[in-house]
Amino acid sequence: MVCIVLFGLANGAKVSLINGFQLLKFLGKGTFGAVYQARREADSKIYAIKKVDTRRMTAKERAEAVNEIRVLASVAGEHVITFYEAFVADDVLYIVTEYAGNGDLLGFLKNKKRAGHLPEATVWSFFIQMLLGTKTMHENNILHRDLKAANVFLCSNTFLKLGDLGVAKVLKHDQALASTQVGTPYYVAPEVWRNKPYNSKCDVWSLGCLLYELCTFRPPFEAESMEGLARKVMKGKYEQIPSFYSQALRTTLAKLLVIEPKQRASVEELLASDEIRSRLNSITDAVSAQSDHHTSEPVNIVSTIAVPRRFNDLTKNLPPSRYDTKDVSPKGIGPGEGAPPSARMPMTPQQQHAYGAQYPGQYPVAGAGAVPPSREIRMVYHAPNGNPNSSRASIFARGGYNPITHAQMHTGASQAYRLSNHYQQQQEYSAQRARVTPSHWY
């Protein structure tokens, strides 16, 4: 499947859409690709998109890139970046997640360093939020394995989430061990440096390094070479945090930066400690008001995603999208299901007729402002090896009350061919995704 890049004019400028997204600006490098700020055409909301070009990747590297989708789709919580969808276009993998508008903790600390030390209340708040995010992952037997300041994202100046799960690992059970050496050297646990099997305690060590960095603006172990760094980490001796911080912070840090993982505190033990328990409620209450995570929506562990030999065929193996469609509006109609009646735009007579034909008796009163349920349709134009003479079109649909009919499938497929012929002149092929109602069949 190849994605048609749609071109249009916005404010007189040429704009490209990738699967219904407009890339706005480059944000930085992730584990396996570049991350961009993007606007989704269907709801006009801002998202983060990681773009992973797999064309020069080995089969193993492709599998590792796809692993991030599995991990993101397997975990949901107030302090973990939310996954929305993934898709493939021209051997490029796109991963859509929520956008954290205040950057990452690394940039935050660089800015704050000029103004002096962080207030202890901020240190506790950030640390406990990171601890809660790690707890969410560990409850699902997921190791982050690369906790560092650059992978902690700020949704506001006081509310943060863990992200970039590119090297995270899903364990088969809570007693399982991992063995691959991954992570960022300054935050890597001693057992990983020793090339020993490790478990969730490796993330606890990284949290200790982050807590130390919140207090000092630098990691606890530094050296001029990797060998020197390894020796310092495995000795576990670090300079004490500034004296103006409390004994409670020192005590907590001492439970984290413990060389032997069996003696290192777990996330559960830390949350049950007096130092953290006494502060937990006030911090969670303060940040919960800023969270849009719905705890009533459980997420199951996603099975290993098989990576086909032809990478463009990966789409059919990817997890479904997870957008909140309650406030998503079909273009030209207004707020969708769940919007208050005063916010809805009444349907035209043609829309009422189309809606009534599809869903008899469900449009109450002409002009009352009821809005038909949204349906998502994906049209895919296939051009094997770039040869339009052997092309075909497919259409997929979901949502709404009733299954899409054969006639609607035929109409949509025909329109997909017309789109492909139009864009064939620009040598641009791919898939177009849109949210539609019965009055908007292609």
CA nearest neighbour of 132 among 284, 273, 294, 291: 284
**Whether 146 is catalytic:** yes
Radius of gyration of the chain (CA): 25
- In whole angstroms, how far apart are CA 87 and each of 19, 290, 362, 374, 431? 8, 29, 34, 21, 10
Average pLDDT for residues 403-410, to the nearest whole number? 48
pLDDT value of position 365: 39
Q: Which H or E element spans position 402?
A: none
- In whole angstroms, how far apart are CA 391 and each of 396, 424, 425? 17, 11, 15
pLDDT value of position 382: 46
Catalytic choice (43, 91, 146, 174) = 146
CA distance 31 to 146: 10
CA nearest neighbour of 435 among 407, 400, 404, 384: 400
Which has more confidence, 364 or 125? Answer: 125
CA distance 123 to 127: 6
The domains found in the chain, sorted by start residue, are 5-99+307-317 (3.30.200.20), 105-288 (1.10.510.10), 341-440 (no CATH)
Residue 54 carries which DSSP code?
A: -
pLDDT value of position 199: 85
* pLDDT tops 70 at residue 171: no
Which has more confidence, 424 or 316? Answer: 316
* pLDDT tops 60 at residue 177: no
CA nearest neighbour of 201 among 105, 118, 294, 269: 269
Percent of the chain with pLDDT over 90: 41
- In whole angstroms, how far apart are CA 188 and each of 148, 207, 291? 10, 10, 30
* pLDDT tops 90 at residue 349: no
Highest mean pLDDT among 5-14, 15-24, 275-284: 275-284
Average pLDDT for residues 76-105, to the nearest whole number? 93
Q: Say which amino acid occupies 89.
A: A
pLDDT value of position 363: 38
pLDDT value of position 15: 59
pLDDT value of position 367: 40
- Give the CA dihedral 77, 82, 88, 91, nearest 10 degrees: -90
pLDDT value of position 164: 86
pLDDT value of position 202: 93
pLDDT band at 169 (very low <50, low <70, confident <90, very high): low
pLDDT value of position 325: 58
Does the annotation flag 232 for ligand binding?
Answer: no
Say if CB 181 and CB 126 are below 8 A apart.
no
| pLDDT tens for each residue of 122-150 | 999 999 999 999 999 999 888 898 899 99
Highest mean pLDDT among 46-50, 144-148, 197-201: 46-50
* pLDDT tops 80 at residue 390: no
Average pLDDT for residues 154-172, to the nearest whole number? 82
* pLDDT tops 70 at residue 99: yes
pLDDT band at 284 (very low <50, low <70, confident <90, very high): confident
Say if CB 292 and CB 45 are below 8 A apart.
no
pLDDT band at 296 (very low <50, low <70, confident <90, very high): very low
CA nearest neighbour of 18 among 85, 87, 72: 87
pLDDT band at 21 (very low <50, low <70, confident <90, very high): very high
For residue 52, the tally of other CB atoms under 10 A from its CB is: 25
CA nearest neighbour of 150 among 104, 110, 99: 104
Whether the predicted model's global pTM rises above the 0.75 cut: no
Residues in Cβ contact with 301 at an 8 Å cutoff, skipping those fewer than 6 apart: 74, 140, 141, 170
